[in-house]
Chain A
Amino acid sequence: AQTVTQSQPEMSVQEAETVTLSCTYDTSESDYYLFWYKQPPSRQMILVIRQEAYKQQNATENRFSVNFQKAAKSFSLKISDSQLGDAAMYFCAYRSPGAQKLVFGQGTRLTINP
């Protein structure tokens, strides 16, 4: 069974600085999808970014980018120019192809200091 590990329960960063959230996963599959979800205080889960394992290029969405290291099974999220609205719980998630269920990590609570 696949597992996802987020080793940082909490992180904090100064506004406008850059922060990196870590995620590692364990799988024997060669093709899969990885996601970062954001859960603000409203509790609504929001997809931040996704990565397909067969793509070598790291995904980027505006200020959010990932460092996908397939051999190391690592999928970190970098947030540049942090904003107060980035404060939230962040979850890393894994999905097998052909399956719909997501396997989540433990979550990282990100605080942005003004």
Chain B
Amino acid sequence: DVKVTQSSRYLVKRTGEKVFLECVQDMDHENMFWYRQDPGLGLRLIYFSYDVKMKEKGDIPEGYSVSREKKERFSLILESASTNQTSMYLCASPPPNRGRDTEAFFGQGTRLTVV
């Protein structure tokens, strides 16, 4: 089974802290994504990566950065956490787009609270 693991289910951080959210997949996938989930807004794409050291902005990248030093690990970084970044963060990793209807596999989510 594809496994996408997020390092924390719950995090509480203080305003201004630098926060790292880690995601690891064990299936040698090139593609990895970070989404943010908020009530009434669904899931919105923050950043994604198609390969090691490659990254692209999604729809809401402001206030975030990412790191992909190894293929299996994709980190989301909040440089200076703010209360409006309190949210659920989901990591996803679909297999390579060689098939026509590949599905994405998700981690369990990290619920981040910034106080």
Interface residues of A (CB under 8 A from B): 4, 6, 9, 33, 35, 42-45, 47, 50, 52, 91, 97-107
Taking the closest CB of chain A, its distance from the CB of B99, in whole angstroms, is 10
Q: Are B40 and A9 in contact (CB under 8 A)?
A: yes
A43-B103 in contact (CB<8A) = no
Are A100 and B94 also in contact (CB < 8 A) when A105-B42, A107-B42 are?
yes
With an 8 A cutoff between CB atoms, is B74 at the interface?
no
Question: Is A101 touching B43 in the complex (CB atoms < 8 A)?
Answer: no
Main secondary structure of the interface of B (DSSP, over half): loop
Given A43-B109, A44-B108, A45-B106, check contact A100 B97 (CB 8 Å): yes
Point out residues on B near A: beta carbons under 8 Å. 9, 31, 33, 35, 39-45, 48, 50, 58, 88, 90, 92, 94, 97, 100-104, 106, 108-109
Which label, helix, strand, loop or mixed, suits the secondary structure of the A interface? loop
Q: What would 13 more interface pairs be, CB under 8 Å, given A97-B100, A104-B35, A104-B44? A: A4-B42, A33-B101, A44-B106, A45-B92, A47-B103, A50-B103, A52-B101, A98-B97, A100-B48, A101-B33, A104-B42, A106-B40, A107-B42
